[in-house]
Amino acid sequence: MNTTTLNALSAFPQQLEAHYTAIPAEFKHWAPPSWDGVPSEPFTAIEQVCHVRDIEIEGYHVRLHRTLNEINPTLASIDSEALAKARSYATANAGEAFSAFREARAKTISVITGLSAEQLNRTAEFEGYGPLSLRSLVHYLCSHDQQHLAGLQWLLGKIEASRVQVQG
């Protein structure tokens, strides 16, 4: 696996926490009137953190395991919005979510860094993405991380825009 991707995956938990911390406390559960243009799923700041945690554990851990241990498995996509409602992301404890995510990401990094070239070339079919290699899957995980940093920055933009007084 290339160093750039591994470094980005390793740095992400700290970046996610820093981006979340940048959201003012009174806006941690705030939703804009419209989600048009959001670069991630349409989630509030706390919901973004919970989503990333659950996708790591129930999405990518399962996908990595299945790709390594099955012959060309079909990897399911996860209905993130249904999961957010079912797990009450809006009422989650951010500290607990971050702790669980950091632990899950450490496990992901441990798995990825131990893979051989042959293992990285194993294939699967990912619902909504099509055929891929395990190496592709790791890049998609890294891309997913970046989408959520962008989503939190987008929320900050919307928060600041909500404070603007229209001048006439």
Distance CA 125, CA 84 (A): 25
- Residue 165's pLDDT is 74
- Residue 116's pLDDT is 96
- Residue 99's pLDDT is 98
Burial class (CB in 10 A: 0-12, 13-18, 19+), 78: middle
Distance CA 16, CA 148 (A): 8
Residues 6+ apart with CB under 8 A from 65: none
- Residue 168's pLDDT is 65
Count, residues in the chain = 168
Residue 34's φ and ψ, nearest 5 degrees, are -140, 145
Q: Which domains does the chain have, with CATH numbers?
A: 3-162 (1.20.120.450)
List alpha helices for the chain, DSSP H. 3-22, 45-54, 62-69, 80-86, 94-113, 117-120, 134-162
- The partner residues of 133 in beta bridges, in order of sequence, read 123
Q: Which residues of the chain have pLDDT under 70?
A: 166-168
Distance CA 168, CA 160 (A): 19
